Structure 1
């Protein structure tokens, strides 16, 4: 015995220009029938939040699936799976397609070589899928855009929920971010963590989808933009603040990555703030607001 609810969508050409569109959503539970063997022309994320079963690849290898888990069904790759007939399982699935899926794959959010991914918690992903299900109501004029945005959110949520990235990987990334402005090489950073440079590269690639060098560069340039926009520090001083002793090298690096020179960026974005600027991230439940006199 099983129960199923699903909806499927057909986004138009204009919506496909969003880069990622939702093709369908479903919520199912119980002793669901065997799926496949079959091959699809689009991606599907299947989130198993309760129960167990199996997943079989085209070469006959079988992998046990134990909730919470994620099944990746990728285009052109045959798949074959089912819940245990005695226990069944509880699943939510989202079908999607678009060229941006290739970018998520390159960044490691989608892993065709790992069709079964253990999750630490399926709850946040189920919440996002439920949002797609609510958007599927008949007559919703924002359906395609709303579900496209939710697919992006789902991919980020699933990435964060992967059981193999917590907590050590997060700790390495946080430590790199904390030391990002120090004049340290990638080898120096690795040594501080008792790792080889190759091990550090693997950890950062798995955790952030990029190399340690790119990860550190993104943090440094982000801070440089803040200093350029919110202070009157000379470019050379900004360069030193973010870890570059050579301002000419910093300017070349900034221009190549950002697409405009530091001086030009300041001209476009500069907003000198009396009293300076803050490193504190605003509380989303209490964002900064302009209060009228007498309201505080």
Structure 2
């Protein structure tokens, strides 16, 4: 016996320009029928929250699926899977497509080489899928936009909960972020952690979805923007604070990556606040306000 609920959508051309669009969503559990063999023209994220089953690759290799787990179905790749005999499993799925899939794949959020991925938890992923299901009510004029946003959220949630990564607690990434403003090369960063540059590249790409150079550069430029927007420090001083001893090189790099020169970026912000900048992240439950807080 099994129970199933599903909805399918047909986003228009303008919705496809959002980068990701949701094509369908389903929530089901029990001794579900076997899926496939079949081949689709889009992606599907199948989240298994309870139970066990199997997945058969195109070359007929059998992989055991044990919850919590993610089954990634890729366009053009034959797949065949199902719950183990007995009570079955708890499954939710989201069909999606879009131009942003390429970027998510390059960043490691979609892994074409590993159709079955163990997860540490499915709570966040199921929450995103539930938002899609709620948006799927008949007559919702915001259906395509709401479900598109939730697909982005789902991919992030699945990446954070993958059992082969450490999410936000990766000690290597924290250490690199801490040392990002030191004038060190990637090779020197690697040596500080007892790694070769190749090992560091592998570890950072696995944890952050990018190269060590891009990871460090993102942190440096983010801090440079903060200093340019919120202080009156000269550009040369900003460059030194974020790890660049050559202000001219910093300006060229900033202009190339940001699209505008540091001085022009500061002019556009117009928010210099000497002494008024806080480095403390506000509590989302109690953000800064100018008036009395609303009563609970």
Normalised TM-score (structure 2): 0.96
> Structure 1 pair 273/168, CA: closer, same or farther in 2 (3 Å)?
closer
- What secondary structure is seen at the aligned counterpart in 2 of 1:51? strand
- Secondary structure (helix, strand or coil) at the match of 1:80 reads strand
* Partners of 2:22 and 2:95 within 8 A in 1: yes
SS at match of 2:32: coil
| Closer, same or farther: CA 167–218 of 1 in aligned 2, 3 Å | closer
Match of 1:206 in 2: 206
Counterpart residue number, 1:165: 165
- Provide the rounded CA distance (Å) in 1 between the counterparts of 2:46 and 2:172: 29
CA shift in 2, pair 1:77/1:169, >3 Å: farther
1:1-296 equivalent positions in 2, closer than 5 A: 1-166=1-166, 170-291=170-291
Runs (5+) with no aligned partner, structure 2 = none
CA offsets 1:196-240 (integer angstroms, 9 cap, x no match): 211111111011111000000000000000000010000000000
User: How far is the alpha carbon of 1:167 from its aligned partner?
Assistant: 6.4
Rounded Cα–Cα distance in structure 1 between residues aligned with 2:150 and 2:130: 10
The TM-score normalised by the length of structure 1 is 0.96
Report if aligned partners of 2:204, 2:211 keep a CA contact under 8 Å in 1: yes
- Whether the 8 Å CA contact 1:4–1:26 is kept in 2: the answer is yes
Moved segments of 4+, more than 2 Å: none
Cα deviation, 1:226-281, whole Å, max 9, x if unaligned, reads 00001000000000000000000000000010011001101101311142312111
Q: Say which SS state the counterpart of residue 170 (structure 2) adopts.
A: helix
SS at 1:280 equivalent: coil
| RMSD between aligned residues | 1.4
Q: Provide, for residues 48-81 of structure 1, a one-character-per-residue CA deviation record: whole Å limited to 9, x for no partner.
A: 0000011011101111100000000010011010
CA displacement 1:30-58 (0-9 Å, x = unmatched): 11111111100000000000000110111
